[in-house]
């Protein structure tokens, strides 16, 4: 049994100390590049069809699964009861980004404080999925806070 109560604090500490990995190494970006490559190959084979999309999605999921297995399964072979703790911390660290979100929110705040709604709108668009073009300053602030 490993100490579950320490996993989340350890992941937060890792995020505070290291921040987000660079895009070229970030797992989400790697999966995105893999998906783009798989889609290109599938479209060459089947054109812009449902089959091409399904093949690309399936191939991307399989590649991501094998990548995770190759990275994390070796920890299960280690004799230490702390070994499973390491991949757990890493997965949680990758899935959350409080330091990065705080940095982006500060950019929005600084732009709003300086009266630059356009810059604030652009900054908030980096952390939200909604359309920011028609947001007023209150909507921009609300979107940053909600994120």
Q: What is the pLDDT of residue 106?
A: 94
The predicted model scores a pTM of: 0.62
Kindly report the average pLDDT of the chain as a whole number. 86
Domain ranges of the chain: 4-84, 99-146
Indicate the angle between helix axes 7-18 and 85-95, nearest 10 degrees: 60
| Greatest CA separation for the chain | 58
DSSP string, 76-138: HTSS-TTTTHHHHHHHHHHH--HHHHHHHHHHHHHHHHTT-HHHHHHHHHTT--S--TT--HH
The pLDDT tens digits of the residues spanning 32-75 come to 888 888 888 888 888 778 888 888 889 889 988 998 889 888 88
């Amino acid at each position: 049994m490993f100490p579950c109560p320490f996993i989340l604090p350890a992941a937060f500490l890792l995020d505070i100390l290291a921040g987000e990995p660079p895009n070229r190494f970030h797992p989400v970006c790697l999966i995105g590049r893999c998906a783009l490559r798989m889609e290109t190959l599938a479209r060459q084979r089947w054109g812009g069809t449902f089959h091409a999309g399904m093949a690309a999605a399936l191939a991307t999921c399989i590649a991501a699964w094998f990548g995770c297995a190759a990275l994390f399964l070796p920890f299960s072979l280690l004799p230490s009861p702390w070994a499973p703790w390491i991949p757990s911390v890493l997965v949680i660290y990758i899935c959350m980004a409080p330091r990065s979100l705080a940095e982006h929110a500060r950019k929005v705040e600084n732009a709003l404080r300086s009266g630059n709604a356009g810059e604030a709108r652009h900054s908030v668009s980096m952390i939200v999925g909604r359309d920011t073009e028609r947001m007023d300053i209150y909507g921009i602030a609300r979107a940053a806070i909600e994120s």
